[in-house]
Every structure is written in C-alpha cells, then in structure tokens.
Amino acid sequence: MLPPGPGKLFSISAARRLLRDPPGLITDFTARYGPVWRTHLPDRGRLKDLVWLMGPEGNERILAATHKDDFSWHEGYRFTMEPIFGATTLILLDGAAHRTRQRALQPAFHARMDGDHGAAMREIAEGRFAGWRRGETIDLAGELKRISFHVVARQFLGAADAEIPPLTRLFEEIGLGLFSVFKVPLPGTRFHRGVKARRALAGLLAERIRDYRRSGAIPANMLGSLMRSEDDAGEPLPDETLVSEMLALVFAGYDTTSSLLTSLWVELGRRPEIHAALQGEARALGEATPQASSEQPLLDAALQEAERLHPPLVFCLRGATRDLTFRGFEIPAGSKVAYSAHYTGRMPELFERPLEFRPERFLDGWRPPAYAMVGFGGGPRACIGKRFAQIEMRLITTLILQRWDFEFLPGQSDEMYYNPTPQRRHGFQVRIR
Ligand code: HEM
C-alpha cells in the first residue's frame, strides 16, 4: 500500500506551501495522515512521489548507517542544487566519491583549526560591535547574519572585508534561487536571479583560484585545502569543482548558523530570566574562547533548546535507491523521501511542554531519546560543519552576553519566510542599553 496523501491534483499547491510554510504543511499533514504520508514534487519536468517519514523511527530509517545504501543524496537534492551549484559538490555525491571528498574537507573542520576559526570569529564580531551605539535600535537578525556570512567568507574563501557586501548580496540571491518551485530561468524569476548570481560568483572565484595558482601561494583556508586535495584517480580537483564546492560550503555555512542564533535571541527576549542567567554565566567566565563551553552549561542547554524548537533545516531530502517499506507502506525506488527535525523536536511524546523554550530540560544531564533531535542530521553523513557552527554560536553569543545589554522591543512581527532556513521577514529589533 502506498502512503496516504493529498493526491497529484493538489501537488503544486502542496509544493508551494512547502516552500512558503514548511512547518505548517508538515504539522497539518502529519495530523491529517499519520506519521507516513506522500506528496509530490516537480523534479526535472516530472512529478515525483515524496514520502515523509515523521518521528524518530523515520529519522533513524533515513539517517542510520545501517540503511545508508537505501538512500541517495544526489537523487534527493539534485533537482534543487544541481542547477545552482553543479553536480560535483559534497552534498550531491554518494558512495566512494562522497567519502573521498569528505576526507579532503575534513582538515578544514578539524579541532586544531578551532583557535584560528575562533580568532577570526571574535575579530569579525568585534568589528561589527564597533558600529553599535548605546540608545540605538539595531536589527539583531541582520547583524547576526552579517557576522556569520563574514566569518565563512573569510575562513573558507579568504575574502577581504571590502568584498563582504557584494558577496552577501550574491549569496542571498543564490538562496532564493535554490528554493524556488519552478527551475525555469525566465528573466525576473527568483531562479533566474539565482543562476545569474551563481555565474557572477563563479567568475570571481575562478579568478581567485587562478591568482593563487599563478603566485604559487596556496592559502591555509578551506579553498586552499581543497586546491591541495585529489580525487580518487589521484588528480587535483578541476577548477569548476573547486568553485562549486566553495559556493555550496559558504551557502551551507552561514544562513543555518545565523537562523539558529536569531531564533535563540528571539527566545531570550521572551524569557528575560534565562537571558539574565546566561549573562551571569558569561560574565563570570573571563575571556570567551572556543574551548570555554564546559564552563557554560546553561548556554549549551539554550543552544540545544533553540536547535530543538527552531532547526534551520526544517526538513531534509533523499532519493530511495530501491523499493523500500516503512511501517507497512511501500516506497517505490526513485521516490523522494523526507525527514523533519522540526516535527520530531516538537513531539509531545518526546518532549514535555514541547512548544515552550525551556533550556532547563537539558540541564542535569538529561538527554533526548535516540533520533529525537536531528537538527544537524545524523549517522555517517551528519553535518560536516557542526563543530564549526557550534563554536561560532557559543563564541558570538558569549561575546554579546558579556558586553551588551538589550531592551527587547515588544510587538514585533513574527512573520517568517524560508530561504530555505527560517528567516524573520521584518528582522528582530533590539535597543542597546
Ligand atoms: C547551525 C548551523 C547548522 C545546521 C543546523 C546544519 C544542519 C545540517 C543538516 C541537518 C545536515 C544534514 C542534511 C541532510 O540530512 O540531508 C547538514 C549537512 C551539511 N552541512 Fe550543515 N548545518 C549547520 C552549519 C553548517 C556549517 C557551518 C557548514 C560549513 C560548511 C555546514 C556544511 C554542511 C555540509 C557540507 C553538509 C553535507 C554533509 C555531507 O554531504 O556529508 N553546515 N547540515
């Protein structure tokens, strides 16, 4: 038996809603159809089945190492990512090709890089703070996004400060292009703007790679480690692959982090007593360093709670590589399959008072059940940037807590859009005290 769902006739309206309001669609359809249901998604001119496996068992079925050959990332994400990033990025590789690329990238995310990444994060945040004035109102969501973009653009690409504003604009266009329903490059559409932004960025990056090669000075950043790496045949990666990989990594690495950081601060605005306790913890700490997290149990708990309630990737996709069954339902080979960190993180069966921001739940060593929290994915292909993101989120939050007092302005709109990470349409205004 195929999973229940709204039927092909409603597929385009369901796909549109999925882009506009993924949490709403997922919550409503799971309430209506149960933990396994089916919608459709346009993929290269055809409507493909998209089967949703909701809850921890579904997460495990998709993420666990034992099932890894049942699913393809390439078939899951190709329709949206390939037109913008090309086919040769880590995210779109499967099997041995994926493992080789993962090995090439791992050094840039290793713990020995923490000090270097941490120093850059601190300097960039402090540069941004220098423009904050007491009594002024700032859009904290926008500030956090600028800081996180600056961090990845510098640490991954070696971008200079003056390059940050134009690069930010181009990457924003890429995000909107990625998450558009129709991938037809008609002038004026989001997709067309995304493709144009991709072309401009690819040109800039290719030039930079040529300059590095000409001068023989391969930098010690992520681009440099990729330039030094080889494919399975022992050949250096072609320039086009370097360009695609860097675009995908920068994209994956900033909106996710800034979305989660913004969600955390919005929640702190609603729970002043937690904000005050976090300030106390941070101010007792002395110098904030990437290593200091063991001394900040409350901050760790608050970050976990933000991840549980507001995971930046509301859902994730795969392609089924063979005919599968799950809870008695058939999933034919070639279908797409999805899991949702957002849905599982809010299940009342797993979390008491699930819609409330209560970092306290993670104190005293409480751990959620297996596969209940998958904000960074899980299994052999969990997020490669998790360590980097966690260092950044801890460090930036600690620096702000130590140095700034905010008045959280009441009555702000909570309207969201998804690019694909949750973004506040009207930002998040705070007054600096
Ligand atoms: C709060 C921040 C972040 C969150 C919540 C997050 C979340 C995720 C999730 C859920 C996945 C798995 C997707 C799936 O199962 O389909 C993933 C994979 C990935 N993430 Fe992150 N991520 C974050 C930060 C970063 C950063 C800073 C980077 C830096 C480059 C990054 C790069 C990647 C890449 C390349 C993959 C694909 C891994 C692979 O194919 O093996 N992420 N991330």
d(CA 360, CA 273): 12
Residue 230: strand pairing partners:
236
How, if at all, do strands 406-408 and 324-326 pair?
unpaired
Q: 29-42: per-residue pLDDT in tens?
A: 999 999 999 999 88
Single-letter residue type at 274: I
Domain ranges of the chain: 8-432
**Averaged pLDDT of the chain:** 93
Task: Establish whether residue 249 lines the binding site of ligand 1, counting it when its CB lies within 6 angstroms of any ligand atom.
Answer: yes
Task: Say if CB 41 and CB 48 are below 8 A apart.
Answer: yes
Tokens of 276: 């005050």
Tokens of 332: 């034919």
* Percent of the chain whose predicted confidence (pLDDT) is above 90: 74
- The pLDDT value given to residue 292: 61
Task: Establish whether residue 148 lines the binding site of ligand 1, counting it when its CB lies within 6 angstroms of any ligand atom.
Answer: no
Identify how many contiguous H helices and E strands the chain contains and give both numbers: 15, 12
Single-letter residue type at 366: W
Task: Establish whether residue 389 lines the binding site of ligand 1, counting it when its CB lies within 6 angstroms of any ligand atom.
Answer: yes
Q: 300-348: per-residue pLDDT in tens?
A: 999 999 999 999 999 999 999 999 999 999 999 999 999 999 999 999 9
pLDDT above 90 for 419:
no
Residue 40: strand pairing partners:
49
Going by C-alpha positions, the residue among 371, 401, 376 that lies closest to residue 386 is 376
pLDDT above 70 for 293:
no
- The pLDDT value given to residue 149: 96
Cα–Cα distance list, 428 to 264, 310, 398, 411, 416 (Å)? 11, 15, 19, 11, 11
Determine the residue of 376, 390, 396 to mutate for testing ligand 1's pocket, defined as the one with the most ligand atoms within 8 A of the Cβ atom.
376
pTM of the model: 0.95
Fold of 8-432: Cytochrome p450 (1.10.630)
Task: Establish whether residue 384 lines the binding site of ligand 1, counting it when its CB lies within 6 angstroms of any ligand atom.
Answer: yes
Q: Quick one: average pLDDT of 287-291?
A: 77
Q: 370-404: per-residue pLDDT in tens?
A: 999 999 999 999 999 999 999 999 999 999 999 99
Task: Say if CB 342 and CB 314 are below 8 A apart.
Answer: yes
pLDDT tier at 179, thresholds 50, 70, 90? confident
Q: Quick one: average pLDDT of 287-299?
A: 80
pLDDT above 90 for 220:
no
Atom 27 of ligand 1, nearest CA residue: 253
Establish how many alpha carbons lie within 13 A of residue 293's alpha carbon, considering only the half-sphere containing its beta carbon. 19
Backbone φ/ψ region at 410: left (φ over 0), alpha (ψ -120 to 50), beta? beta
Tokens of 84: 């913008």
pLDDT above 80 for 231:
no
Side by side, the strands of the sheet bearing 137-139 are 137-139, 429-432, 406-408
